[in-house]
């Protein structure tokens, strides 16, 4: 089961496929953070979800919100995926699945497949989980849920 709204979000310290260092604590007091975990680059639902966040990125950024996509795919796969689809935000390779485990983005089937589950967290500027969206096959649940919630956050 996913972490719950109101809980302190686990901190992370990762490097994105573009080489950017990302730490949750660096966003504290400045930006909300959308962490979306997805099973894999270049798959139909994951591509729809990523393109949905891409298309909403300017709107989210204007509301002091950063988007970060996470899957077990390699940095090279992420770079190709981002280039092909014009992704303006960071993608993180979680090959060891530590971040996925920390955010409980794992399930029996995804563990067996060596992937992350599709789950999205909205973390507010204070570092608390403000929203959790989990729908395995409906990317729009994640994107629209995030857009609606971020519109309500300060």
CA distance 55 to 52: 5
33, 46, 72, 143: the catalytic one is: 46
Q: Is 51 a catalytic residue?
A: no
Q: How many CB atoms lie within 10 A of CB 130?
A: 21
120 alpha carbon, distance to own chain's centre: 6
| Residue 73 CB partners (closer than 8 Å, separation 6+) | 40, 41, 81, 93
Instruction: Indicate the SS3 state at residue 5.
Output: coil
How far is 61 from 54, CA to CA, in rounded Å?
11
How buried is residue 75: exposed, middle or buried, by Cβ count under 10 Å (0-12/13-18/19+)?
A: middle
Catalytic residue positions?
46
């Amino acid at each position: 089961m996913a972490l719950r709204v109101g809980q302190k979000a686990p901190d992370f310290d990762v490097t994105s496929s573009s080489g950017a260092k990302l730490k949750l604590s660096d966003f504290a007091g400045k930006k909300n953070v959308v962490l979306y975990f997805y099973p894999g680059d270049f798959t139909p639902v994951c591509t729809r979800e990523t393109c949905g966040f891409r298309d909403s990125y300017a709107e989210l950024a204007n509301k002091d919100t950063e988007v970060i996509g996470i899957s077990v795919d390699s940095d090279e796969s992420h770079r190709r995926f981002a280039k092909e689809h014009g992704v303006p935000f960071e993608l993180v390779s979680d090959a060891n699945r530590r971040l996925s485990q920390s955010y409980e983005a794992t399930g029996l089937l995804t563990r067996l497949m060596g992937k992350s589950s599709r789950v999205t967290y909205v973390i507010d500027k204070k570092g608390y989980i403000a929203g959790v969206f989990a729908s395995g096959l409906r990317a729009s649940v994640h994107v629209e849920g995030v857009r609606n919630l971020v519109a309500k956050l300060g």
